[in-house]
Structure 1
């Protein structure tokens, strides 16, 4: 199937044609507006050419928020509008189609099979087609309204396609994305094919059907007279399980249904504008069939969970009025061996139709995108779009405002200047610096370099941000999704190699957790390994090394109860041991202070905020020195030079900040109140 076209076709397996043209790893900000193509032999060309509004990337934060709010309101409307041309009751078999807007994708993109919910249309990902289509080969399963294929036969259809595509490309994973009923379908296929490399992304799985209020719909529908209208619209406006039970009771008592359905379901708030389309998608007979199939699908998938080995990501809504999705997500996470969970507390059942949900961002944030057997932090990295980066930076806007960072850099001739002009534009570049208390310096650092120089600084981070040896008391992995979207990778020589290979700008803290969780009186003290860990790797790729210092933690808080105090108390000592055992061990074979990587939370006394200061030293060249720096003595000399430069930068800032009249937050706020809060606050003279 050509990447530039789309059509409906039978569910028989088939081969894919290669992408129409290779695309780069950089995702464009602006994309063509979405279209959906349907079977040309069943739907007229006029119906297939669906009108749409052009969308463009919006730079301003206010406009982005308005756009998201609008898409949240119109997600259902867009879905229903595009469904009109695909719900003709043709009675044909289930078939695959590929949306027209999924026309250009990365080379060797994995296959993504989208499995529909109870509606069967196959447009559940319509808000995500454009972004998904750049990194996946997307096929959507369409189940015609009048089709009565049993669930077990649907499993066979998907399984046949999965086996055929796996045989065609055995080294690439196949993604199964399913919501509700589609999630049961994905689980069933995964259970039957444990040896095929599958990645499951499941939204509000209907494996919890036996505990949901949806069970009550079947006797309710059977009790309703024909024609069903206006009964179905009223059913779909029900808000809680209690209301549904009340309606069922009143129907049995012979009371008018419309008088008893007074509350609107959040998930169906926009249905009133498109009820005729909805009635065509789910007429009474079809809805009854789908509900019965949902029951059997839930039981089928549930009984085979033990056989599932696939990597699984469960997305569950906290405001799902149809299924107990969050409880089910937590249950499945415990049962499935390679499973992660992401919760969306304010979302409803139809998660993918909410404009606030971005599936591509979720996949990138969980490191679930891969084109081979394993995720490659170099080759599989998809750079954040401008909107993604700005949203993450905006989430830290208050901290950035309080920190009011001052940044100095050094030009090639050694001149120190305000701003970031001295930072090399072309990679590979390795930034090596001091880790402030709790690593708070990373936030302004990454934000400013991205906004002012359009450089994505990819951090080398502790492995506990990516994996856990076991679940426990550490913050949930979802807490670190934003770091992964911005390119953070686990610390490992292989990952440093991959970043240098891709000419990235890399951020490294040799002191690691020991510096970030230092003791009382240890602020601005470096805890680096005795042996160099990065010099020879940098020299191999000719990377420039930029030593930098950062100060300001002592103006933000003070450690008053540290590790040495905590381990003297049995309870806290036990907690520290437990947390440390949860985290993936790092430098377990190293000696000295840097090996002391116990995970703990010191007690910090906050202060009236001061200001953060950064000083980037002159870049140190390694190009042309690869042979020289293979010598351990020479590489160690450069390593000590980098460390000395970092200490010099810190000492310089500690002295210079004493002359900053705006070091305190009070003078800064006063300055911004008189000059505008967007104005840059002055600092000391260089």
Structure 2
């Protein structure tokens, strides 16, 4: 099956709850935790499993796009927006709270949870998380040293769309040992696995909760667990506050000084408020007001913090961190679960980032993400979005194994806005000219010639380093409200392989926009779901070509994608792309590198780490060794895309069963791609705005929103 190459772009409230209670009685006790639920006037008891699909929201699109404060787009250039009644490719958006609002909400939740406190640790499930996807996996939140279980409050609404959420609440005066908490979580995990054997269970733990998750996983290697660990306290013996424990015990009258310190860990870096205000262009008076509000918030929160963590409880929790760290360290080798490890660069409690790298090395299947500007309480940080991270790391699944098609969670409008803005500079530098072919053969400067209904298979030429997909995926969304699902080399999805791996984090946006590993199974599922699929038959060999091989197709001899398209009656749209030679020139390629022993050894070692895509292929297309050509940059030119006449396969199933007929269609598609490339290379010579300097001059003379002209069609 064909593969894409190495794309460099990733391109004050009062909620109610359902509560589930579980005592810390021995496993053999006759007590039924589901019959021991308790409630107050703000907490409702329920054991029902609510399930519904997330509601989609209409997202108007045009090109280029501007966004309002809600993540909505507005059209420019006077172009026609897409049909508002057409299905949106986006998930329902959820507005994120600011850091100050998150902190206030956390303490409001924590205060309410401890109002009628007492009894053993128990589970509760927020009522606002009731509208979720069908067969959503279970998410068990394991809190940090606060023990309230309210740490995910700012994430509830968005997480609740895709998870069944239970949060562990540890009452203030409860003195259950760490091992007792491990057994409590373990009983819940085993019970839910027995009830739903095919449903994975996510353990989301921060600080102390991270140790709980690791311990439960180590003790239950045969249960399908996925761990999300935010600054886990697995190495507390080296924490900066470790030496202060004896001092805190000896000077109880000074213990209240610890509350401002803990609160500062929750509130994060105050300089962020100043920086955010400056970036927004707020006047000095308003910036001072923002900082004053932060100070008032901290003043309000300190008394609540004293109720959550009184002196005895704080000392108990800090001592528990010691035992939790020792227990977990001795069992790290037994952890088999898939793990998403989140570490902060400004964690003053645990110095998590340095320890996170060691934990990442120690775990067998871990995927590390670093947040340099964040503090210890990661879920309370401004703009931190756990669901977005889960999407980008392909860490969401509803069955025994990840299905890149059925488990895919599309971006929300606000997530897409951030992705669009992050790639906007490249769009402005290259100012792409996008052409398509109407049914009558006329070429137009738009995507009007693109089929609306799927399945559609877009087959084209892969430019140097695979830099063209990001721009065209964005254009399809903005102009036609179509989400292109690219099939890519498996190396972009090797999350847990250790060794000479490429850094996967820059490709999170690539996966968030729907890319899947290349395979016949994934292509089958995409076309059967009537998707619009982006395919590059030349794969890595084409994207990492040698000197002098610009615009040369390296397609396999077999008509591999035609038979799959015919099976589902998919339209095949060939397209050509031109412009790589206007950005850079290869001067040290694969052939040059293989002449040097060091580079030859490195290339072979890296290539061996990745799954082979074309094990049965022969010729140049089979030569897909992983390497990085050295490129001499040029003054940026312009990109050009041309989508040719679609090839219909519907109704031709019997005809194209014949291998010769199928191969004939394959050659026609390839010829059309070459024709599109030749057309663009010829026409761009007459483009008066091919140079970036002429485009900049045009911008100075016209409105910045106007579309820059190109050659005559």
Q: Which TM-score tier does this pair reach, normalised by the shorter chain?
A: 0.7 to 0.9
Is 2:619 the partner of 1:592?
yes
Q: Which moved more, 1:674-683 or 1:269-278?
A: 269-278
CA distance in 2, matches of 1:563, 1:626: 41
Structure-to-structure mapping, 1:497-576, within 5 angstroms: 497-576=524-603
675, 678, 682: which is aligned to 1:651?
678
CA distance in 2, matches of 1:202, 1:178: 5
Give SS of 2:148's match: coil
> What's the counterpart of residue 20 of structure 2?
9
> What's the counterpart of residue 411 of structure 2?
384
> What's the counterpart of residue 357 of structure 2?
330
In the TM superposition, what is the alpha-carbon distance from 1:272 to its structure 2 partner?
Answer: 3.6
CA distance in 1, matches of 2:261, 2:136: 43
Give SS of 2:139's match: strand
Is 2:154 the partner of 1:124?
no
Is 2:52 the partner of 1:22?
yes
Give SS of 1:7's match: strand
In the TM superposition, what is the alpha-carbon distance from 1:475 to its structure 2 partner?
Answer: 2.1
> What's the counterpart of residue 307 of structure 2?
280
> What's the counterpart of residue 638 of structure 2?
611
Kindly indicate whether the alpha-carbon contact (under 8 Å) linking 1:89 and 1:146 is maintained by their aligned counterparts in 2: no
1:144-180 per-position Cα deviation (integer Å, ceiling 9, x unaligned):
1111111111111111111110000001101100000
311, 330, 342: which is aligned to 1:303?
330
1:411-455 per-position Cα deviation (integer Å, ceiling 9, x unaligned):
122221111111112111111000000111112111111111111
The change in CA–CA distance for 1:56 and 1:109 in structure 2 (over 3 A counts) is: farther
CA distance in 2, matches of 1:565, 1:652: 32
Q: CA RMSD in A?
A: 2.6
398, 406, 417: which is aligned to 1:371?
398
1:578-610 per-position Cα deviation (integer Å, ceiling 9, x unaligned):
222232222122100000101111121111111
Kindly indicate whether the alpha-carbon contact (under 8 Å) linking 1:68 and 1:356 is maintained by their aligned counterparts in 2: no
Kindly indicate whether the alpha-carbon contact (under 8 Å) linking 1:431 and 1:508 is maintained by their aligned counterparts in 2: yes
1:330-364 per-position Cα deviation (integer Å, ceiling 9, x unaligned):
22222222211111111111111112221111111
> What's the counterpart of residue 43 of structure 1?
none
The change in CA–CA distance for 1:179 and 1:521 in structure 2 (over 3 A counts) is: same
Give SS of 2:204's match: strand
Give SS of 2:168's match: strand
Give SS of 1:8's match: strand
Kindly indicate whether the alpha-carbon contact (under 8 Å) linking 1:79 and 1:124 is maintained by their aligned counterparts in 2: yes
In the TM superposition, what is the alpha-carbon distance from 1:104 to its structure 2 partner?
Answer: 0.4
Q: Which moved more, 1:10-19 or 1:170-179?
A: 10-19
The change in CA–CA distance for 1:268 and 1:602 in structure 2 (over 3 A counts) is: farther
100, 106, 127: which is aligned to 1:79?
106
Kindly indicate whether the alpha-carbon contact (under 8 Å) linking 1:317 and 1:343 is maintained by their aligned counterparts in 2: yes
Q: Which structure 2 residue ranges, 5 or more long, are not aligned? A: 1-14, 23-31, 36-45, 61-67, 75-93, 267-290
CA distance in 2, matches of 1:485, 1:546: 24
TM-score (norm 1): 0.87
CA distance in 2, matches of 1:123, 1:390: 29
1:516-573 per-position Cα deviation (integer Å, ceiling 9, x unaligned):
0111111000000000111111111111111000000111111112111121122222
TM-score (norm 2): 0.84
Q: Which moved more, 1:400-409 or 1:668-677?
A: 668-677
The change in CA–CA distance for 1:9 and 1:600 in structure 2 (over 3 A counts) is: closer
Structure-to-structure mapping, 1:47-66, within 5 angstroms: 57-59=70-72
The change in CA–CA distance for 1:28 and 1:126 in structure 2 (over 3 A counts) is: farther
Structure-to-structure mapping, 1:398-477, within 5 angstroms: 398-467=425-494, 470-477=497-504
CA distance in 1, matches of 2:262, 2:711: 67
CA distance in 1, matches of 2:258, 2:628: 57
CA distance in 2, matches of 1:305, 1:298: 10
CA distance in 2, matches of 1:356, 1:469: 27
The change in CA–CA distance for 1:408 and 1:283 in structure 2 (over 3 A counts) is: same
Structure-to-structure mapping, 1:181-260, within 5 angstroms: 181-226=208-253, 228-229=255-256, 232-233=259-260
> What's the counterpart of residue 29 of structure 2?
none
Give SS of 1:98's match: strand
Kindly indicate whether the alpha-carbon contact (under 8 Å) linking 2:259 and 2:305 is maintained by their aligned counterparts in 1: no
Kindly indicate whether the alpha-carbon contact (under 8 Å) linking 1:28 and 1:385 is maintained by their aligned counterparts in 2: no
Give SS of 1:614's match: strand
Give SS of 1:548's match: strand
In the TM superposition, what is the alpha-carbon distance from 1:230 to its structure 2 partner?
Answer: 5.1
Q: Which moved more, 1:211-220 or 1:528-537?
A: 211-220
The change in CA–CA distance for 1:135 and 1:273 in structure 2 (over 3 A counts) is: same
Is 2:105 the partner of 1:105?
no
Give SS of 1:207's match: coil
1:180-213 per-position Cα deviation (integer Å, ceiling 9, x unaligned):
0001111111111111111111111100101102
CA distance in 2, matches of 1:111, 1:641: 49
1:81-112 per-position Cα deviation (integer Å, ceiling 9, x unaligned):
33221122632211111112101011111100
Corresponding pairs, count: 628
> What's the counterpart of residue 361 of structure 1?
388
Kindly indicate whether the alpha-carbon contact (under 8 Å) linking 2:486 and 2:535 is maintained by their aligned counterparts in 1: yes
CA distance in 2, matches of 1:80, 1:408: 55
165, 176, 180: which is aligned to 2:192?
165
Kindly indicate whether the alpha-carbon contact (under 8 Å) linking 1:112 and 1:175 is maintained by their aligned counterparts in 2: yes
Is 2:648 the partner of 1:621?
yes
CA distance in 2, matches of 1:14, 1:646: 63
1:353-381 per-position Cα deviation (integer Å, ceiling 9, x unaligned):
11222111111111111111000011101
CA distance in 1, matches of 2:325, 2:485: 42
In the TM superposition, what is the alpha-carbon distance from 1:575 to its structure 2 partner?
Answer: 2.1
Structure-to-structure mapping, 1:630-641, within 5 angstroms: 630-641=657-668
Kindly indicate whether the alpha-carbon contact (under 8 Å) linking 2:96 and 2:154 is maintained by their aligned counterparts in 1: no
Kindly indicate whether the alpha-carbon contact (under 8 Å) linking 1:224 and 1:231 is maintained by their aligned counterparts in 2: no
> What's the counterpart of residue 36 of structure 1?
none
